[in-house]
Amino acid sequence: MEKHSQALKMLEELEKGADFGKLAKQYSTCPSGKRGGDLGSFGRGQMVKPFERASFALNVGETTKEPVKTQFGYHIIKRLG
């Protein structure tokens, strides 16, 4: 997801009960968007620092409350495992 405004819109839709995977397919510009935003498992040191910090700060099942900015754009992260 490239734009902050799109990320905020996605967060609003998630708060209203929208499905994360469906929104990822609709909004994501990342190749993972086609898989509903699923990046698979990854450990520390495998992602850029802002993304890693936000991911590992979440409890399983939680979604970031704000867009996470990296050099690749804005991200909404949901921790599944």
What type of residue is 5? S
Pick left, alpha or beta for residue 20 (phi over 0 → left; psi -120 to 50 → alpha; otherwise beta): alpha
Q: Where do the domains of the chain lie, and which CATH numbers do they carry? A: 4-75 (3.10.50.40)
Judge whether residue 2 has pLDDT over 80: no
**Residue 58 tokens, joined:** 């979440």
Determine what percent of the chain is predicted with pLDDT higher than 90: 89
pLDDT for residue 81: 85
Buried b (16+ CB within 10 A) or exposed e, 13-44: bbeeeeebeebbeebbebeebeeebeeeeeee
pLDDT for residue 1: 53
Q: Which tens digit of pLDDT belongs to each residue from 46-78?
A: 999 999 999 999 999 999 999 999 999 999 999
Q: Which tens digit of pLDDT belongs to each residue from 17-48?
A: 999 999 999 989 888 999 999 999 999 999 99
